[in-house]
Structure 1
Amino acid sequence: MPDVTRIDIDDPEVDMDQGQRLLYRGELFTGEVEEHLGDALVSLDSYVEGVQHGPSREWYKDGTLRSEATARNGLPVGTSREWHPNGVLAAEVEFSENGMAMVAERRWDEEGHSTKNWHVSEG
């Protein structure tokens, strides 16, 4: 498996073009983009040709997973999840395969009690 190029979003050579595509050293970037808060890794996103494409993860500063999602050509697809700081699942949002619509949303409080359960009606 080939090595994946990884850059820091705060690198002075990272920029965005007019189409909001990520550039590194003036070129459309393909690889992983990380963000740190102090010494802690707080996000890791995948890009292809300057557009978010692939897995995306965020962590709280203590290392607890905060969210995970997948993008395809810059749009959210599949199921994204968020967690409360205590590790309890906070939300699941499902997107259509083309990323153009949200089809379901479920949310929970910090104790795991359901606070929202919505989905697109069939028919």
Structure 2
Amino acid sequence: MRRVDIDDPEVDMDMGQRLIYRGELFTGEVVEYQRGALVSLNTYKDGVEDGPTREWYMDGTLRSEGTARGGRPVGITRDWHPNGTLAAEREFAEDGLTMLSDREWDETGQPTRAWDRS
């Protein structure tokens, strides 16, 4: 699978907000580094986010993960606090338009929000 750095000067976005690499719609993984640390990895198909997405804090702790289809979130997405405690979990329908549930926790793991589509 092809992989490019988002800061590569040959990476651009077109008017439709699709990712372009060397003048063509990009398919593969796009990574971002800050001060040498990998902070994000997103998968693209024909210039649109499609596949796994992950982000990390600078210390390497997982910050978020999920899956996109056609540029929209599908399935379960999760976010973590800097201390590694789960911060949020959201579930999206396969259409990428409908949120099915939304749960949040504080840094100690105590629930602060719980919503389910009924």
Task: Give the 4+ runs in structure 1 shifted more than 2 A.
Answer: none
Q: Structure 2: how far apart are the matches of 1:84 and 1:20?
A: 29
The structural deviation recorded for 1:80 is 0.1
Secondary structure of 1:111 counterpart: coil
Root-mean-square deviation (Å): 0.5
Q: Which residue of 2 aligns with 1:17?
A: 14
Work out which of the residue numbers 72, 93, 96 in structure 2 matches 1:96. Answer: 93
Work out which of the residue numbers 91, 112, 118 in structure 1 matches 2:115. Answer: 118
Q: Structure 2: how far apart are the matches of 1:117 and 1:8?
A: 37
The structural deviation recorded for 1:18 is 1.0
2:107 matches 1:106? no
The total of aligned residue pairs comes to 118
Q: Give 5+ residue unaligned stretches, structure 1.
A: none
Sequence identity (%): 65
The structural deviation recorded for 1:115 is 0.2
Q: Give 5+ residue unaligned stretches, structure 2.
A: none
Q: Which residue of 1 aligns with 2:57?
A: 60
The structural deviation recorded for 1:116 is 0.3
Normalised TM-score (structure 1): 0.95
